[in-house]
Amino acid sequence: MWKHLKESLKDIRFTRIESRTINGIPDLYGVYKGKSFWMELKADYVSYPKLSKWQLSWINLHVKDGVPVLICNIALSQRALKLYRILAWVEKPQDLVPDAVFPMHGQWDKVAQKVYEMISDKYTVIGTTAHEPR
């Protein structure tokens, strides 16, 4: 997945993050036209992005501060690639609704177009007003 994203999203400067010291930090940091964002890469047989408690914590803290966070999830059992733009507090990954769903193979140009759209100003972050558990 990383190789296809990197080849398809040539206008984005990605840094691959491989941290053993910071639990939950997403896999990729990207910069596109002066805007930065984070992207988590997932592949599993469940239909939703299977996030750890550390990943949920990291995502929620950053979305609350208005930082764009995307999830690129390959749902192997459904043979689909799902894109999510996290806009508000996430309690259960099972409740996430994808912004776009593509067949698992061969549509990387459409995936790239959707990613560019998702990191544009079209999406409004509502994380600063989202419900936080008490």
Name the residue ranges covered by the structural domains of the chain: 2-129
Amino acid 134: pLDDT? 33
| Residues in a beta bridge with 85 | 70
Split the chain (134 residues) into runs of 10 and give each run's mean pLDDT.
87 88 90 92 93 95 92 93 93 93 86 90 51 37
Q: Considering the entire predicted model, what is its pTM?
A: 0.85
For residue 100, give the 3-state DSSP assignment: strand
C-alpha pair distances (Å), 65 with each of 26, 37, 70, 78:
16, 12, 15, 33
Amino acid 121: pLDDT? 67
Amino acid 120: pLDDT? 83
Collect all residues with Cβ–Cβ distance below 8 Å to 51 and sequence separation of at least 6: 40, 42, 59, 71, 90, 93
Q: CATH topology for 2-129?
A: Trna Endonuclease; Chain: A, domain 1 (3.40.1350)
Amino acid 129: pLDDT? 39
Amino acid 19: pLDDT? 75
Collect all residues with Cβ–Cβ distance below 8 Å to 73 and sequence separation of at least 6: 41, 42, 43, 44, 48, 49, 81, 82, 83, 84, 98
Amino acid 23: pLDDT? 86
Query: Which of 61, 7, 52 lies closest to 27, judged by CA?
Result: 52
